[in-house]
Structure 1
Amino acid sequence: MNTKILTNCKIYTFNPQQPIAEALFIQDGRILAVGNRSDISALADRNTIVEDMGGQVLLPALTDAHIHMLEYGHSLQRVNCETSTRAECLQRVQDRVEQTPAGQWVLGHGWNHNIWPEGSGDKTMLDVFSLQHPIYLTHKSLHSGWANSAALQLAGIREDSPNPEGGVFQRDANGQLTGILLEGAMRVVEAAIPHPDQNACVHALSLAQKSLLSFGITCVHDFDPWDTYTALAAMQDDHQLSLRVMKGIPLPNLDEAIAIGLKSGQGSSHLRIGWLKLFADGALGPQTAAMLAPYEGSTSTGMLFLQGEDIVEIGQKALPHGISLAVHAIGDRANHEIINGYAQLDEMGLLQKAALPARIEHVQLIDPQDIPRLAVYGITASMQPIHAISDRHMADRYWGKRSEFAYAWNSVAAGGARLIFGSDAPVESPNPYWGIFAATTRKPLDSQEKLDGWYPQQCLSVADALAAYITQPHRIAGQSGKLGVIQKDACADLVCFKSDPFKIAEADFVDLLPQATMVDGEWAFNHA
């Protein structure tokens, strides 16, 4: 029996019956008692490890409720294209080409032409570096890609190739391929990239896990391809999986999931089945998010992949088998269509068939008339606050005054919907304290602004932002009372800080990092 006492600390329990404590008693990874120092110290015997926390602050560990964990792990090994200029991005690509044997792929992630003074790139800028290396760089949004001629050739994309379903091979004014691929067109190039074997996937997931634990994150809701599950299961079998992962099911794997009897919420304490992931539209950056009215200065309304009746059709197939739905939606039309679909499923009595509530991923722009409908149909809004401070200038440019209801956390919460937060890493950093800063200020991370943030009426309190990372994700996952709280019989998943997150200035969240992270009563990360 492994017993441990953490004492001389300030504990925010997130248990309204006992909000503050000074010490806790842990046995075999579970919390057995929470209270004052003297009462908890009296529980010790000669085998109990007593750790004096030196006045530090403890909270329940955090959850990233929307992440692409394998892609994040891979991104840690790829060219970092998140630069302020196109020239800097190209220099990084050239440096990697020079270090890479001819014939091998050069992969990168994070470019964003919307913030580059030079604008978007094309294949010729990459061809300059090499025609012997296929080069492929994913946009920050993961909804467009940039390839050189060698990559296009390996993918079988020619000048006369028609656009694939749900995607576009971008062409210039002369009808020539630019090397920019939108939405489904990305899959054509990605299919030509050698698939990493399980060892490579495990390595990438291990890198991601190490990074996430350093942020005090012990649980994630993952939406990567299904083969990620196989690698995670291998890590679990080898006792290498410290994180608690809820693994989403991609739509192409639905039939397989039904055939083998997978159900949302099913699994072990560290690897459970999550939601069926669908895509209703694209993204703001490439203007493929589906809109009720055209983008500012344009006739385009983006790309709508699923309408309400499609959601109903898929729900009729998945929900009776206990598989819950989570649908990606950025634009106001996409959100409207999803809510319409969920409303019909609710009226049919199908939303209640699965153990986990229906979700919309991102909810980046929503018609104000649709906000109260989220609560009416029990829809969870899964949002990523850091998107707001990254996207605010694009949103103003392409959505104009509609941005009043972009990233509208406060309106969504006030409307009664459940609100959970994540990062969408590697689209953004998984640092949740940057997310809390964004949610409470709506200002850039490097902001010197003394004025209010962008549409400040949508700001949340620190307490509400923390709840969206700590308690709410476990409530919708059916783990309330077990995780996201420090109380008797809960798992001992904790995060430790030198500074008090409830007392620091909002600007200090930008630099806030944990001292240590505990999973199942053991320290999984310690700041050396």
Structure 2
Amino acid sequence: MVDAADTVLLNGGIYTVAPDRSWAEALAVRGGVIVEVGGNEAVRPLVGPNTRVIDLEGRMALPGFHDAHVHPTMGGFALLGCNLEGEASVEAIIRRVESCVQAGGEGWLEGHAFDLSVFGQDGPHKSLLDAIGSARPIVLWSSDGHNAWANSRALDLAGITADTPDPSLGVIEREPDGSPSGTLRETAQELLRAAIPKPSAEAAQQALETGIRHLNANGITSFIDAWVGREDYESYLALDRAGKLTARVVTSLTYESGFAKHVGEEFEAVLAARGDYESERLRHDSIKLFLDGVLEGETAALLEDYVGLGHHGELILDPEALDAAVTRFDAMGLQVHMHAIGDRAVRAGLDAIEAARRANGASDNRHHISHLQMIHIDDIERFAELETAANFQAAWAYPDEWIMDLNLPVVGEERVQAMYPMASVERAGGRIVGGSDWNVSTANPLEAIEVAVRRQDASAAGGPVLNPGERLSLESMIDAYTINGAWLMRQEAMTGSLEVGKRADIVILDRDLFGIPAADLNEVEVVMTMLDGQTVYESETLTWRGELDD
């Protein structure tokens, strides 16, 4: 007698992402593991009296999405607090902050994910926040994570004055008399963070849980947290022990930069204790290195000077120190996860991985470089040669205000048109993985997939294109968010495709991605997300029969 399945999906278009990229009608799950994939006739015999039977009614199912670069705790704080995401003008941002002030509260008011691109090259001014008329210190964090905006009260409490020097690798934008204008870039943001009381452990756990639930709602079942320290280890483990960790997670411990959460002996202690915080769904075997800043504010490290500025940005770690760090972590069997925007930073990262391979030999540590806004043509083939994943935030790869208003004036048309060379890396044999960088940008993989396919604004049917030669296929982008992401997380034997013996991490969509125009991809909705065969998200807005009377 055949053992009955716990859950069965029938009557669907199931894109398995198996090696042959096959499709199936039905799928069965027992004990969180896929036990059958095929036609309805093959799966129906596994339906028992207690089997949950889900009628897909022709909808598409595919492996749960893998987000290879995300910040769920920060995103959770934004969702729970003064969230500025999507406010597309100065006036809209100010109105939203005013409403946050009117909602009440005491102490510091933090706003999250404001759009820096609407303010021009010098960034926003403190007077705009001062005019709101609140006595509270107000700090707004930009969506790129590299810029902050403060009112006069916040600057006073943080002790930031005309006499405060710019910190190493940071910039305090100033008035002609040297006083701070209200915009702080890169490591200068830490002057504000040092003055703001840290959230409680309970608040951090609530934010993390909220952030993960948001990822689940976007079909994400596995992710890499790109910026963590010991407090994050503790939050993840607390959620896991409470049965609330609804994703598979790899975290990246920050190392040696103004963004590092621990330095020196404290870093070493946290690194040594990382195993104490691990579980079946939770691993801490990745190290995060920041190699440069961003183009906004001209802190990204370039091979050639910024236009008319006489400098090309700085590397956060000098090449010798970077090589030594990557070689050390590679020898320990750890994955290195790098932030690199400028082409000089990307080259330095690849050079460091090459140095590690010379010293340690080839490994299976699966290092990756994130963002990759600019890659010199001579470095395109090195991703494949060095078995280094190219971790693109594809939702950025279109000519938006950030690129056209802030980047174009300082790097020029030729370098703009070479941005985010995803197809070039793929053609050279490189492995593309998808990351959102949420809450810097949308967590929705379908929006990022659409932008990668079209290289146009996902919110518009037409419009300007950012280098059409770098468009990727839909198949490639699904791979990036499924099997390639699973490979990067070293779990491709467990997730990333819907095959017998793998975990039942599944996303169900309201329509077939291959059956609609590319311009409609971002409009597709997630109907259900499953982890180990258990529902971790189900849409409340869509009407569907779901359960099948059988």
Q: TM-score range by the shorter chain?
A: over 0.9
Q: Is the 8 A contact 2:228 2:251 kept in 1?
A: no
Distance change (3 Å), C-alpha of 1:72 and 1:159 = same
Q: Which residue of 2 aligns with 1:90?
A: 94
Q: Does 1:508 align with 2:511?
A: no
Cα distance, 1:64–1:18 mapped onto 2, change above 3 Å? closer
The whole-number CA distance in structure 2 between the counterparts of 1:214 and 1:522 is: 14
1:348 matched residue in structure 2: 359
Q: Deviation of residue 37 (structure 1)? A: 0.9
Name the residue aligned to 1:414: 427
> Deviations for 1:193-223, whole angstroms, at most 9, x for unmatched residues?
1111111111111211221111111111101
Letter in 2 for 1:329: A
Match of 2:43 in 1: 40
**Match among 347, 353, 361 for residue 370 of structure 2:** 361
Matched, 1:218 2:213: no
- 1:20-39 map, 5 Å: 20-39=23-42
Do residues 465 (structure 1) and 464 (structure 2) align?
Answer: no
Q: 1:522 aligns with which of 484, 509, 534?
A: 534
> What does 1:294-333 align with in structure 2 at a 5 Å threshold?
294-333=305-344
Q: Does 1:7 align with 2:25?
A: no
Counterpart-to-counterpart distance in 1, 2:437 and 2:61: 26
Match of 2:547 in 1: none
Displacement of 1:410: 0.3
Q: Hey, what does 2:82 align to over in structure 1?
A: 79
Residue 283 (1) aligns with residue 294 (2): yes
Aligned to 2:509: 497
Task: Indicate conservation of the 8 Å contact 2:395/2:447, yes or no.
Answer: yes
Output the CA distance in 2 between the equivalents of 1:79 and 1:120: 20
- The answer to whether residue 442 in structure 2 is matched with residue 439 in structure 1 is no
Amino acid of the residue matched to residue 406 of structure 1? M
Please, which moves more after superposition, 293-302 or 193-202? Answer: 293-302
Displacement after TM superposition at 1:350 (Å): 5.5
| Paired amino acid for 2:247 | L
Give the drift of 1:450. Answer: 6.2
Aligned counterparts of 2:60 and 2:114: Cα–Cα separation in 1: 38
For 1:426, the equivalent position in structure 2 comes to: 439
8 Å contact kept, 2:227–2:288: no
1:183 Cα offset (Å): 0.5
Instruction: Find out whether 1:184 has 2:187 as its counterpart.
Output: yes
**Matched residue of 2:111: which SS?**
strand
Aligned to 1:383: 392
1:455 matched residue in structure 2: 467
Identify the match of residue 486 of structure 2 among 459, 474, 483. 474
Residue 173 (structure 2) aligned to one of 170, 174, 178: 170
Deviation at 1:504, TM superposition (A): 1.1
Distance 1:450 1:277, change over 3 A: closer
C-alpha displacement of 1:502? 1.4
Give unpaired runs (5+ residues) of structure 2. 256-261, 541-550
Task: Quote the Cα distance in structure 2 between the aligned partners of 1:250 and 1:379.
Answer: 19
CA shift at 1:25, angstroms?
1.4
Q: C-alpha deviations, 1:425-482, integer Å up to 9, x for none? A: 111010111101110001112324267x210000000000111011101112221131
Task: Give the drift of 1:177.
Answer: 1.2
Q: State the one-letter code of the partner of 2:326.
A: G
Secondary structure class of the residue paired with 2:397: helix
Q: TM-score, normalised by structure 1?
A: 0.94
Aligned length: 522
Q: Secondary structure at the residue paired with 2:168?
A: coil
Q: Give the corresponding residue for 2:348.
A: 337
Hey, what's the Cα distance between the residues in 2 that align with 1:351 and 1:130? Answer: 59
User: Is 1:131–1:149's contact at 8 Å kept on the other side of the alignment?
Assistant: no
Specify the code of the residue in structure 1 equivalent to 2:352: G
Shift of 1:258: 4.1
Identity %: 30
What's the CA shift for 1:508? 0.6
Question: Does the Cα contact within 8 Å between 1:254 and 1:318 map onto a contact in 2?
Answer: no
Alpha-carbon offset, residue 224 of structure 1: 2.6
Amino acid at match of 1:89: I
RMSD value, Cα: 2.1
Q: Structure 1 pair 473/254, CA: closer, same or farther in 2 (3 Å)?
A: farther
- Deviation per CA, 1:39-64: give whole Å up to 9, x if none: 21123333433332222211111011
Question: 2:273 maps to which residue?
Answer: 260
Measured in 2, the distance between the counterparts of 1:74 and 1:181 equals: 21
Deviation at 1:405, TM superposition (A): 2.4
> Which region of structure 1 is more displaced relative to structure 2, 250-259 or 35-44?
250-259
- State the 1:296 CA deviation: 2.4
